[in-house]
Every structure is written in C-alpha cells, then in structure tokens.
C-alpha cells in the first residue's frame, strides 16, 4: 500500500515538474521576446533632477515651485541608512540580477490564492525602473517589461549606483522625492546626518507614504519603523542593544516649514487629472504649470489663517484649517491648507452652510417662499425627529430672511418638509453636490449627511449663486507646457446656466443680511456688499467643523476649521468667530482700495410693498390697504410671485334697518381712514369718520324715515362703496307684516 502511494507521489511530482518546466520555458520565451523588444532609456534613468515647475499667474520666478530632487551621493550616506532600505525592501539585492525569483513565485501563489494582483515582489531595481521609466498600472505585460528592463539595468550599472539612483528617486510622502528631500522634510537635516532611528523611519515610509507618515499617523509609523529595525536585526546589521534602543524611542519630527506649497500641490493634482497621468510621470516629463495663483492674495490668506489659528493651537495642536479664494471666473487665486493632511478631496459635514442650497433656494425656485414669508418657529416632531435651534429657544413667527440670516433650525426643517426632498436633491445635484439615498431625510436641512460634502464642491456651488446662477467651474491651472515650451493644455472658459438670476438674487439678498445682522455680522464692519453664511457641525457631544463662506460680485471665499485626527474642537470656538475673522481679514485686503459692485436686481425681481398689519396680525403677505407709509413694508419679490391681492381691502359694508333707524357696519383696518357720507334729495353730509380703528365698526343713523331714499357712501382714500336704502318701503313692509297682518293691508 505504501509502495503504491509512493509511486503515485512520484508520478504527481513528475507531472508537476513537467508543467512547471513548460511554464518556465514559456515564460523564458516571453522574457526573451520582450528583452529584445525594449531598450533601456539611459537618459530618463540617470536624469534624476527632473521636476515640475509651477508658476503663479504673473510667471514670477520668485514664486517658482520646483519638485527637483536634491541629489546625494551614496558615499555620503551612513552605511546603516543603506542597510535599512536593503534589509526591508530587497534582502537579496546584492545577489540577484534585477529580479528575485523566489519572491516572484511566492507572490504569484498569493495572487492566485487571492485572485488579485496585490503582491508584486518588486526588487529595488524593479522599483527604480517603474518609478523612472514605466507607469503604475498593474498588468502582467508591464511586470514583464519591468523585469526585462531591470535585467538590462543590472548589466549597465553597479549595485551601488542602482541603489543611489533608487534612494534619490523614491517617493517618501509629503511631496518629498528622494531621501535628501525626505530627510529635510521630516527631520530638517541632510540625509548624511540621519540617525539609525530616523533611517528606519524613512525606510518604513515608502511602502505606503500616507499610511506610515510620522506626521499624519505616528502610531503606524512607529510600528513600521520597528518592523524595519527587526529586519535589520535578523540580517545582523544592528545589535540587540541598537534594536532595543530604537523600539523604545519616539520618532522626533522636525518639519521644514520654510514655505507653504498648498496651492502648488493642488495644481499638480489637477494637472495629473487633466493629463490622465501619475505625479511620477508628470515629474519625469519636466512639465511646466502656469496657474491662476495671485502671490499677494496667497500671502494674505496664509497670514490671516495663521494669525487666527496660532491662537487656537495654544489650546490644542489637533486642529486643521483650509482657506480658498475663488474669483468669479472660477479661477482659484489662493489655496492654503494649514494641515498635515492632503485636503484636496476633503469631505466634511457641511452643517448650516447647506441650508441656503438645500432648503431656501428650492423653496424660492418653486415660489413657496419669498424673503418676507413668515414661518412659525415652534416645537415640532416628525416621527420622533424634533430639531431645536442652537440656543434651544423658539421665536414664534419669523420671516424667511430672519430665519436664514440667523440660521434657525426649525424653520429650515419645516421649509424642507414643505418643498420636498426630491426637489431639494435636484437643486443640489444641479449645483454639483451629490448625496446618497441615506442623506434624503429632514436632517438634511441642518446639513447632516452620511459621507459629508466635498468642500471645494461647496464653494463652487456658492460661486454659482454669486454669478447669479452661472456655473463657471473651479480650476487652478491656466496652461501646461511640455519640456520644450509647447502648450499641451490651455484652460477654456466654462459657463453653464443652472439657476435663474431672480432665484439667486433673492437668496443672495437674504445672505447679505447674514453678513449685516446675522451669524456673520462681524463682516458688517467692512461696509461692503457681501453675502455670507456660517455653519457649525455638531456630533452630539462637541463641535467638529466650523465654516464661513462669503461672496461678492468679484470673489467667493471659504474658510473651514476642523480636527481631522480627533474630530472635535474646543468648546469656545464658533463659526461666527474664527473662520469668519479669517475671511474678514482676507476681504479687507481684497477690497482695500476699492469696493466691489453690489448685486444688480434682475428685471424679473421687484421691490414691492405689502400690508404690515396683515403681516403682523394674520402672518400673510398681501398688497397694502393704505397709502400711509407706517402701515407699509417692502421686500424683494419675483414678478411672478408678488404679494397677493388684499381681500380685506375690498370694502365689505352692509346697512340694516330697524324701527329706530339704520345701522351701517363694516370691517376696518387700522391702516385706513374711513368716511361715511349720507346722501339724500336734500344734499350730502358726513355721517361719521374713523381712523386708527380695526375690527368691526358700527355707525347708527336715527333720522331715516323722513326720506324716500338714502345713499350711504363708505369711502377710503383709494376706493368707495355705495349702498341705497328706501326707509318708507321698509316702514310699509313692517306695518303690513307685523301690525295689521290680519286686516286690510296698507298700500302706498
């Protein structure tokens, strides 16, 4: 039995060997084919000082941002720096010919088992080829090309030269390419001065620069550093004492903060998207990027932001901020991220900054609300959802204008419920803000969403309102030039009409109140035609995000303050304070020598009067019933949604007779003056006059039976109503019906 089993095993192993031999023969043929097909581009491989040049709008060379790598010779690096990378990335670096067959087999088995391409088994040589000559696509053909070129490179260059090129090329995160730049970025020193601890930290970074960043994820960075130290210990490149010292020591970061590259990083990110290439490819092609950055505005944004945030950081270092200035052609003139995190795709809870877009704009579009419309601010309950205002108080009837400028929650929820979630979602989509199905509930009125909203999308939406409904895009880059100076991309103006001018004007006019008397009222000190909205996100325990967004006819600004790491802010920070102060300082600079033009009222919007008594007593907007200014108020209305006709303005007068005479009665308005005239064949006289009266008024005339006919005239300054009576006819009917009903009737 054992012999049979042994024989079967031999047959299985023989078949497996034949299969593997066939595979390797085939693979060898493929490699040989590609070996002859592809040539090693020596110039690209050795030209390590490529970079991306990013210019401001005025092409000022002083503002040049160049990602050129600082090159360092391998002879100048401590030996333990080299060992840290080799022991971690490629243990058999000095023995293979460009590829590690054992690692490839292991990686292939893992990929087959997981049905993925997650394991690459790249050697240092392969990584260098990929970073300088190839793209990042994960395909088998690219992998074969990578192996072939690595083999050719190994024949052309020494191991030390390959390692030197690798260390001067690899990406370390935080926009640092090459070990010299990385050392300056994280430790503010040359790579030749790196300690063993710091070398292990940098060697651990390159697997995932963001995940293992000591700036963004210190805990992950320490774990990875310890793993590098363990690899060095196994390779006998450090002692047990050195290993113990490393794993029991912190990582001391000393960032180089000589200059802020927030804007340039965003421009590079945008360029990669426009050209559909990676950042490494962009660097290797020596492109030049001309942006819309205004150096003076950028400097002011940085200074304004740091001035306010430095005070906040005295309470906690875990605080991030972002300020953006967008001109109303959709061009980003300044972008500053006061954060260790990459904020270009930052998505956060928008809080009350979403109210104008998700609630009030849809209501204006569908003629549900005008700025003057009154909403009852009261306790509400929608199937267990009972929102409250920030101060916990209710205000009774308030105008839409007041509710928005003071960011009341209850009126916003009521308005959203009335207009409907589908209409709100349509408007948000048209403005470039996309929600999930889970977001479509009444808490949307308070800016509560599942995944948050992209902050740049939020500013772009407000910029569309500032442009009276025309979307002009959101861009950093004017043009891109190749290494020969040829333009390979040129921005073209973008204009898409989304919302009507009338709807945007009404919303803007209400948000101007927010900047005068509402939550952003400190902007009123500037005496500028500015619209603004604040927002504070609250997670049920603490504030997490603060916003101020403001715009004029020339610019749109957004400042966000939050805490990405801990998602909580100090209790004494408010959206009406820190972010609003930052924007206030920026606006003061933007308009230090001129005022922007005010927003022009469109032809289909009018400033119309309405009756203040009906407004206060009955909470309705109707045309005035008086020409007395003290009884009239004004606001903006769309021409297709003006104040309704005042039904109480139609004189509702009646006259009743009895044995004692006539009673003239009517409903009076406090804003009107009334005169009752009595007209007979003997002439006309004033029976009574009333002013400052409201409610039902009754006037008696006891001298009627001496006249055949009387005409009573009820007059106001704008209209009159006449009622005729015949007293003798009434008297005859009375006698016929009541006095002598059983006798001969009287006839006149």
Listed residue (645, 682, 676) closest to 663, CA to CA: 676
Q: What is the pLDDT of residues 140-153, one digit of tens each?
A: 777 888 888 888 88
Burial class (CB in 10 A: 0-12, 13-18, 19+), 438: exposed
| Chain segment 352-366, per-residue pLDDT in tens | 999 999 999 999 999
The per-residue pLDDT for range 612-641, each reduced to its tens digit, is: 888 888 899 988 877 778 889 999 999 999
Of 475 and 108, the structure prediction assigns the larger pLDDT to 475
What is the pLDDT at residue 668?
84
Task: Tell me if the pTM is above 0.85.
Answer: no
Share of the chain above pLDDT 70, in %: 86
The pLDDT score that the predictor gives to residue 133 is: 79
490, burial (CB in 10 Å: exposed 0-12, middle 13-18, buried 19+): exposed
E strand or H helix at 732 = helix 727-734
Distances from the Cα of 742 to the Cα of 600, 728, 736, 737, 746, angstroms: 80, 21, 9, 9, 12
pLDDT in tens, 54-106: 999 987 665 666 665 678 999 999 999 999 999 999 898 998 887 777 766 66
pLDDT band at 23 (very low <50, low <70, confident <90, very high): low
Q: 663-687, pLDDT tens digit by residue?
A: 999 888 777 788 999 999 989 999 9
Rounded Cα distance, 662 and 653, in Å: 13
Which pLDDT score is estimated for 255? Answer: 73
* Cβ neighbours for 219, distance < 8 A, ≥ 6 positions apart: none
pLDDT band at 748 (very low <50, low <70, confident <90, very high): very low
Whether residue 257 has pLDDT greater than 70: no
Helix axes 240-247, 196-205, angle to 10 degrees: 70
Compute the distance between CA of residue 467 and CA of residue 501 in angstroms, rounded to an integer.
8
Domains, in order of start, for the chain: 50-247 (1.10.3810.10), 320-590 (3.40.710.10), 605-647 (no CATH), 650-739 (2.60.40.10)
CB 63 within 8 A of CB 184: no
Q: Tell me the C-alpha to C-alpha distance, in Å, between residue 212 and each of 175, 193, 194, 201, 463.
A: 14, 22, 18, 9, 37
Q: Is the dihedral of CA 392, 398, 403, 405 positive or negative?
A: negative
Over residues 529-537, mean pLDDT? 96
Q: Residue 276's Cα: distance from chain center in Å?
A: 24
pLDDT value at residue 279: 80
pLDDT tops 80 at residue 745: no
Q: Model confidence over 398-430: pLDDT tens digits?
A: 999 999 999 999 999 999 999 999 999 999 999
**What integer pLDDT is reported at residue 314 of this predicted model?**
72
Grouping H, G, I as helix, E, B as strand and the rest as coil, residue 623 is: coil
User: Do 645 and 633 meet the contact criterion of CB atoms below 8 Å apart?
Assistant: no
pLDDT of residue 513: 97
Question: What is the rounded CA–CA span in Å between residue 551 and residue 599?
Answer: 11
pLDDT of residue 35 exceeding 70, the answer is no
What percent of the chain shows pLDDT beyond 90? 56
Tokens 């504070």 -> residue: 536
* pLDDT(196) > 60: yes
What are 205-250's pLDDT values in tens digits?
Answer: 999 988 999 988 899 999 999 999 999 999 999 999 999 999 999 9
* Per-residue confidence band for 434, with pLDDT thresholds at 50, 70 and 90: very high
Q: Residue 468 — very low, low, confident or very high, per pLDDT cuts 50/70/90?
A: very high
Give the range with max mean pLDDT: 20-24, 30-34, 143-147, 288-292.
288-292
Tens of pLDDT, residue by residue over 504-525, are: 999 999 999 999 999 999 999 9
Nearest to 478 by CA among 330, 291, 327, 332: 291
Beta strands 53-55 and 288-291 are parallel
Q: How far apart are CA 736 and CA 743, in angstroms?
A: 9
pLDDT digits (tens, 9 = 90+) for 554-605: 999 999 999 888 788 888 889 999 999 999 999 999 999 999 999 999 999 9
Mean of per-residue pLDDT scores for the chain: 87
Distant-in-sequence, close-in-space partners of 701: CB < 8 Å, separation ≥ 6: 661, 662, 663, 664, 678, 687, 710, 712
Look at the block and give the residue holding tokens 């020494």: 158
Task: Give the DSSP H/E element, type plus range, for residue 524.
Answer: none
Calculate mean pLDDT across residues 304-332: 88
562-572 pLDDT per residue, tens = 988 878 888 88
Distance between CA 163 and CA 125 in Å, rounded? Answer: 8
CB 401 within 8 A of CB 371: yes
As a 3-state breakdown, the chain gives helix, strand, coil percent values, each rounded to 5, of: 40, 20, 40
What's the average model confidence in pLDDT over 172-188? 88
Banded model confidence at residue 49, pLDDT cuts 50, 70, 90: low
Q: Per-residue pLDDT for 545 more than 80?
A: yes
What is the rounded distance in angstroms from the CA atom of residue 534 to the CA atom of residue 581?
11
Highest average pLDDT, of 621-625, 640-644, 718-722, comes from: 640-644
């Amino acid at each position: 039995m054992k012999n049979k089993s042994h024989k079967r095993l031999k047959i299985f192993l023989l078949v497996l060997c034949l299969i593997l031999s066939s595979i390797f023969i085939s693979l060898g043929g493929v490699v040989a084919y590609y070996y002859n097909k592809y040539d090693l581009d020596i110039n690209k491989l050795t030209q390590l000082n490529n970079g991306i040049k990013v210019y401001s709008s005025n092409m000022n060379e002083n503002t040049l941002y160049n990602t050129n790598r600082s090159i360092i010779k391998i002879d100048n690096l401590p030996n333990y720096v080299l060992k840290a990378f080799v022991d971690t990335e490629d243990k058999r670096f000095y023995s293979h010919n460009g590829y590690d067959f054992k690692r490839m087999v292991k990686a292939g088995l893992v990929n087959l088992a997981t049905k993925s391409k997650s394991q690459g088994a790249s050697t240092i040589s392969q990584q260098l080829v990929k970073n300088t000559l190839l793209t990042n696509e994960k395909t088998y053909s690219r992998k074969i090309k990578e192996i072939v070129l690595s083999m050719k490179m190994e024949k052309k260059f020494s191991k030390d030269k390959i390692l030197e090129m690798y260390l001067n090329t690899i990406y370390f995160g935080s926009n640092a390419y090459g070990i010299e730049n990385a050392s300056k970025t994280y430790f503010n020193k040359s790579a030749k001065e790196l300690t063993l601890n710091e070398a292990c930290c940098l060697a651990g970074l390159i697997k995932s620069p963001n995940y293992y960043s000591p700036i963004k994820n210190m805990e992950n960075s320490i774990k990875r550093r310890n793993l590098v130290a363990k690899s060095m210990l196994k390779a006998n490149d450090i002692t047990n004492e050195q290993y113990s010292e490393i794993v029991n020591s912190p990582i001391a970061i000393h960032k180089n903060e000589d200059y802020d590259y927030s804007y340039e990083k965003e421009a590079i990110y945008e360029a990669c998207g426009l050209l559909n290439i990676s950042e490494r490819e962009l660097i290797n092609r020596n492109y030049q990027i001309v942006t819309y950055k205004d150096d003076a505005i950028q400097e002011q944004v940085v200074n304004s932001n740091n001035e306010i945030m430095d005070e906040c950081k005295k309470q906690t270092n875990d605080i991030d901020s972002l300020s953006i200035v967008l001109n109303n052609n959709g061009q980003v003139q300044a972008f500053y991220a006061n954060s260790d995190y990459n904020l270009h795709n930052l998505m956060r809870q928008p809080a009350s900054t979403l109210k104008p877009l998700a609630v009030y704009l849809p209501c204006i579009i569908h003629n549900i609300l005008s700025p003057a419309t009154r909403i009852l601010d009261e306790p509400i309950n929608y199937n267990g959802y009972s929102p409250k205002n920030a101060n916990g108080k209710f205000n009774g009837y308030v105008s839409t204008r007041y509710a928005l400028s003071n960011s009341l929650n209850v009126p916003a929820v009521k308005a959203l419920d009335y207009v409907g979630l589908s209409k709100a979602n349509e408007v948000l989509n048209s403005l470039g803000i996309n929600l999930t199905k889970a977001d479509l509930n009444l808490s949307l009125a308070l800016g509560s969403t599942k995944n948050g909203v992209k902050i740049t999308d939020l500013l772009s939406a407000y910029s569309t309102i500032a442009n009276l409904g025309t979307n002009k895009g959101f861009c950093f880059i004017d043009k891109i030039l190749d290494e020969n100076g040829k333009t390979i991309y040129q921005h073209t103006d973008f204009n898409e009409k989304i919302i009507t001018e009338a709807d945007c004007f009404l919303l803007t006019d209400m948000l101007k109140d927010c900047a005068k008397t509402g939550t952003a009222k400190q902007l009123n000190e500037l005496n500028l035609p500015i619209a603004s909205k604040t927002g504070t996100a609250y997670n049920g325990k603490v504030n997490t995000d603060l916003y101020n967004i403001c715009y004029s006819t020339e610019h749109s600004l957004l400042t966000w303050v939050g805490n990405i790491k801990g998602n909580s802010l100090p209790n004494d920070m408010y959206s009406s304070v820190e972010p609003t102060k930052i924007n206030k300082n920026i606006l003061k600079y933007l308009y230090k020598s001129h005022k922007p033009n005010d927003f022009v009222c469109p032809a289909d919007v009018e400033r119309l009067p309405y009756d203040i008594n009906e407004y206060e007593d009955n909470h309705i907007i109707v045309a005035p019933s008086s020409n007395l200014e003290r009884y009239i108020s004004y606001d903006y209305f769309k021409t297709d949604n003006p104040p309704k006709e005042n039904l109480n303005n139609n004189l509702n007068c009646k006259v009743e007779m009895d044995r004692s005479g006539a009673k003239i009665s009517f409903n009076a308005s406090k804003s009107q003056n009334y005169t009752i005239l009595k007209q007979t064949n003997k002439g006309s006289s004033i029976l009574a006059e009333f002013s400052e009266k409201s409610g039902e008024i009754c006037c008696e005339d006891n001298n009627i039976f001496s006249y055949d006919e009387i005409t009573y005239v009820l007059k106001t300054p704008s209209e009159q109503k006449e009622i005729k009576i015949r007293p003798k006819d009434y008297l005859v009917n009375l006698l016929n019906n009541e006095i002598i009903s059983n006798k001969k009737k009287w006839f006149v």
